[in-house]
Each structure stands twice: as C-alpha cells, then as structure tokens.
Amino acid sequence: MKRLVTVVTGAGTGTGAATCRRLAEEGHDVVVGYAEDADAAEEAAEGVRRSGARALCVRADTSVSADVERLFTSAEKQLGPVTGLVNNGLLNDAGLSGPSAGLADTDPADLRRFVEANLLGPLLCSRRAARVMTPRGNGVIVNVIPCAATPDAPAHHTMTNAAVEALTLTLAEEVGPGIRVNAVEQGKTEEVAAAIAWLMSPDASYVRGTVIRGTGGR
C-alpha cells in the first residue's frame, strides 16, 4: 500500500507542528515546510519520526514559486508522490516590522509581506499540488485561515482571510470531486490539528468546499 505524503507549510511551531504530529499518528509521512527556524522544524520532524512515520524538513518561502517547486520536488524525490497539502505558512502582525495597526497606519512593505505570505503562498502551493494531484484524480488540500473575516479585524487581515476562504470554495469546484479542498479557521491548536487530520482522512471523503470554524463562536 502506498504511503500518504503530506506537505505542511509553516510547520515548525504551533498549529503546523501539532498538525505534523497528528498526521504522523494517522499514518502520513510529512514534509515539514518552514521559512526560518530550522531547529524548530527539526524538532517537529522528530515528533513525526517518533510516531513511526518519515519526515523531511525543507526550507521554503511559499510566496516564491521557485521555493514552492523545490519544496514539492524534494518531497516527491525523497518520500514519494504528494497526496496532501496543508497551507499553514501564515504571517500575523507579530511578523511585521511595526506594531499591530489598522490599514492606514500599516507600512506598505508590511502589507505586501502580509499578502504574499497569507494569500500568494496558499495560491502557489495549491497550484503546485493540483498539478500533481489532478492526473491521479485524488488528493486533499486544507487551508488554515488565521481568523474569521469580520468587520472588527484590521482590513488587511479581513481581506486575506476572505480571499483564502474564497480560494477554498472555488478551487474545490475547479479540481473536484476527486481532489478535496477545505479550510479550518484558527482556534485551539490541538483542536485545529485534529480537524485538519479529519479532513485529510477517508472519514471526510464527501466533504469539500467547507470551512470548519473553530473560533469559539467569535
């Protein structure tokens, strides 16, 4: 039986690392995609290996198409055909040069970084995943959305979150029914990881174009 091979971006810490562990427990080999912290990524990979699964760490800026290509090519060469993708390479205000602010007070360079990480990254990774999954007629993509697209959030948050939700719905139609595309909104780390693992599993075989909102009703 062929092994499941799942690429997880932003996998070194938090939701990404928890998702790696949970998927390993469910029988996935995991590509730990990370942007900067190699030590954290290797720690996440060790957690995967302790569950008896294979792990590969690959540094990649998901907003750069050449990096995305290298991420997937490395996965395919060392672990096998990619069967799943978790888009979790997210940037929050803590990753910007200044303090959290509304649109009018956010530096344009920070806005560009925010859009590239939170929207262009999922677009490029989903594009690459779809290219390998479509000929096989199967695969799973799960997008992690930082928070709900609500009017009380900063405009750049709301825009990218709404865009990723729209990407989830439209890509599900574009590549379905064989390839399932869904999303999970951020909430409690372990619960989000469990939701992602469920969406990746055969138990969710009829679920596509769905956003699971684990935000405690907020």
pLDDT single digits (tens) 109-121 = 888 888 899 999 9
The answer to whether residues 8 and 31 touch, using CB atoms and an 8 Å cutoff, is yes
pLDDT of 147 higher than 80? no
Ramachandran angles phi, psi of 212, nearest 5°: -90, 120
Token couple for 3: 């092994």
Token couple for 162: 């709404």
pLDDT of 179 higher than 60? yes
Percent of the chain topping pLDDT 90: 73
Residue 8 pairs in a beta bridge with 32, 86
What confidence score (pLDDT) does residue 99 get?
A: 53
Ramachandran angles phi, psi of 76, nearest 5°: -65, -35
**pLDDT tens string 46-76:** 999 999 999 999 999 999 999 999 999 999 9
pLDDT of 172 higher than 90? yes
Token couple for 51: 């569950």
Count the neighbouring beta carbons within 10 Å of the beta carbon of residue 66. 9
Q: Is the pTM of this model over 0.95?
A: no
The answer to whether residues 39 and 27 touch, using CB atoms and an 8 Å cutoff, is no
Rounded CA-CA distance 91/44 in Å is: 19
What confidence score (pLDDT) does residue 1 get?
A: 62
The domains of the chain, with CATH numbers, are 4-213 (3.40.50.720)
pLDDT of 212 higher than 70? yes
Token couple for 122: 């999922």
Ramachandran angles phi, psi of 108, nearest 5°: -55, -35
Coil, strand or helix: which one is 21? helix
What confidence score (pLDDT) does residue 109 get?
A: 86
